[in-house]
Structure 1
Amino acid sequence: MSKELVFGHQSPDTDAIVAAKAFSYLQNKLGYDTEAVALGEPNSETAFVLNYFDEPTPRVIKTAKNEVDSVMLVDHNEFQQSVSDIKDLTITHVVDHHRISNFQTDQPLYYRAEPLGCCSTIIVKMFNENKVEIPAKLAGLMLSAIISDTLLLKSPTTTDEDRTAVKNLAKIANVDYEKYGIEMLKAGTNVSAKSDQELIDGDAKSFTMGGKSVRIDQINVVEFSEIDKRKADIEKAMKAEAADKGYDLFLVLITNVLNSDSKMIVVGEPASAVEKAFNSKLSDSTLSLPGVVSRKKQVVPPLNDILN
């Protein structure tokens, strides 16, 4: 059996990195030959997680066809979020918790999608279904991924299955998930150490909506003032990247992880569609979005509805 690479989306977050590691481990136990890799460097939160559990950072790839013929995707399916040469590869497996869009294959494949708060929660279920034991270190990593994607189980994307998985994984990893979770989320909010470009690229995903190219980034903070004082420079970087990459709309969602509120910086057109999607008026290129924390559930669907 030929080797396959397993990876999450570009600009990887904690779930993209961890889900790749977890799914690769599971598939190797089931007889496949796989390696978990990444499509970008870990962000500060993920770096904290990997360091906390003494787990090596996955190697970063730019292309895959030069190494393998087949790949497995986790935490994404849209081709514009995947490796640059994805169309030249055979996709054998997908495990995801997002919408399915811009995805097609020439051959049958294993595809598992569930509307859960985190891709790693689906993989926990797959471990249980296949009666494969989750090692303590891997349990800690998967616990971290779920905490990250659900903002410590506060996001509206959180399901009972995510809550159950967190409690079970915390027991295996011997971690106080509430105390650890706050420490972990705060580790990912050190925006002062990042450049404007790093902030707008750190957790960004590209979408096609109604024929428009839309880029949506999310930045977690503990104080909005951390971004407010840099807003002009961040907006300048957004405009430059939108012009360079051809984005019609570039949105940066700034989320306060302590009170679960957000603001959104909007660059591009149609800005009126963004106002309509969120029933809010722009003020100095910014929308106030109280209670909004989830790009997947609270940002992409209403915007997609309006643009389509």
Structure 2
Amino acid sequence: MSILVFGHKNPDTDTICSAIAYAELKGKLGKDVKAVRLGEVNEETKFVLNYFKVEKPELIESVSGKEIMLVDHNERTQTADGFEEAKVLELVDHHRISNFNVDEPLYVRMEPVGCTATIILKLFKENNLLPAPTTAGLMLSAIISDTLLFKSPTCTECDVKAGKELAEIAGVNIEEYGLEMLKAGTDLGGKSESELINMDMKIFEVDGSKIGVAQVNTVNEAELLERKEKLLVEINNIIKKEGLKFFIFAITNILSNDSTGIVAGDGNAIIEKAFNEKIDNNLIALKGIVSRKKQIIPPLTKAIQEA
């Protein structure tokens, strides 16, 4: 039976592409590993998979009874159903460690870089291997996505170096391809409110409080803000269903590198303290904020802990 490798629920480009890349690496090292996914792929990831002519991984509902490897996440609120009944063998990630408990020792590779694919390239090279050109293209796409073409504050020199190496292997012009790819990810017109929020939503647990933070990239935030009331209905449904304290839906403009947050729930004081901005009619300006991992979750965590 194949070992399953996967990233978080509501998968993004790094989660999908890193799962595929890690499965390739493990295959080259003699393991029977299969990349799978925990949800539907978004428009950006569809563009990437189509561009490099790669099939999307199989969708799975539960990992109960399976041997598994995790990439691009570790929090229990973001991983697969059946996690407690699975055997976790390995973890490769670039996020904070939180709510992660296992019964047995495992291999863990965590680095404070902008993208999981950057770490996976290091692992290829440490084993004197290189990814196939197509896989290199997927890994490059993951780095472009997670670092917003090297403009995000999460981006490190390691990510830039890895991106250049992978572009050479893949035979891709980073700037041209990267802009085309990011633009493809902002095509949101045909999405329902539920689809917009669930495209890239994560639930975090901080000091016993569960909070939700979803994010979309756009070049026209006004178009999405026109749908605010309908989005709030959907957000409040999620708050009720998941038992969340509050929810922020961050709409990020990839041209201006600013975000606007649609806020709901019982957390206005915490959110205002975290970002030193007032919430007005369920909206908060998040100037210069593009990264959930580095610019949204840390100040919210601090504000909750100090409340």
The 1-side partners of 2:108 and 2:169 are apart by: 28
Query: Residue 195 of structure 1 corresponds to which residue in structure 2?
Result: 192
Unaligned runs of 5+ in 2: none
- 2:109: which partner in 1? 112
C-alpha offsets along residues 56-102 of structure 1, whole Å, 9 cap, x if unaligned? 0111101022xx53100000011110001101111000000000000
The answer to whether 1:278 aligns with 2:275 is yes
Aligned pairs (5 A) from 1:231-242: 231-242=228-239
Aligned pairs, how many? 305
* Superposition pairs of residues 1-308 of structure 1, within 5 angstroms: 2-65=1-64, 68-308=65-305
- The Cα shift of 1:3 comes to 2.3
Measured in 2, the distance between the counterparts of 1:70 and 1:134 equals 24
Residues 232-252 of structure 1: per-residue CA shift (max 9 Å, x gap): 111111012211221111110
What amino acid maps onto 1:247 in structure 2? Answer: L
Please list every run of at least 4 consecutive aligned residues from structure 1 whose deviation after the TM superposition is greater than 4 angstroms: none
- The CA deviation string for residues 251-277 of structure 1, in whole angstroms up to 9 with x for no partner, is 101100111110111110121100000
Which amino acid counterpart does residue 61 of structure 1 have in structure 2? I
Distance in 1 (CA, whole Å) between partners of 2:143 and 2:153 is 13
Shift of 1:224: 1.2
Supply the AA of the counterpart residue of 1:59.
Answer: E
AA in 1 matched with 2:109: R
Q: TM-score, normalised by structure 1?
A: 0.97
Q: CA RMSD in A?
A: 0.9
Other structure's SS at 1:37 match: strand
C-alpha deviation, 1:181, in angstroms:
0.6
Cα deviation code 1:172-228 (max 9, x no counterpart): 111111111111011111111100000111100110012111011001100111211
1:14 partner amino acid: T
Report the Cα distance in structure 1 between the residues aligned to 2:204 and 2:238, rounded to whole angstroms. Answer: 15
Percent pairwise identity: 48
The answer (yes or no) to whether the contact 2:24–2:131 under 8 Å persists in 1 is: no
SS in 2 for 1:193: coil
Please state whether the residue corresponding to 1:106 is helix, strand or coil.
coil
In 2: Cα distance, 1:141 partner to 1:86 partner: 27
TM-score of the two chains, using structure 2 as the length reference: 0.98
Q: Decide whether the 8 Å contact of 2:133 with 2:169 is kept in 1.
A: yes
Contact 1:45 1:185 in 2 (8 A): yes
1:301 shift after superposition: 0.4
**1:121–1:146 contact (8 Å) kept in structure 2:** yes
What's the secondary structure of 2:58's corresponding residue?
coil
Q: Does the 8 A contact of 1:191 with 1:226 survive in 2?
A: no
Shift of 1:31: 1.5
The Cα offsets for residues 106-150 of structure 1, whole Å up to 9 and x where unpaired, read as 111000100000000000110111011211100110000000000
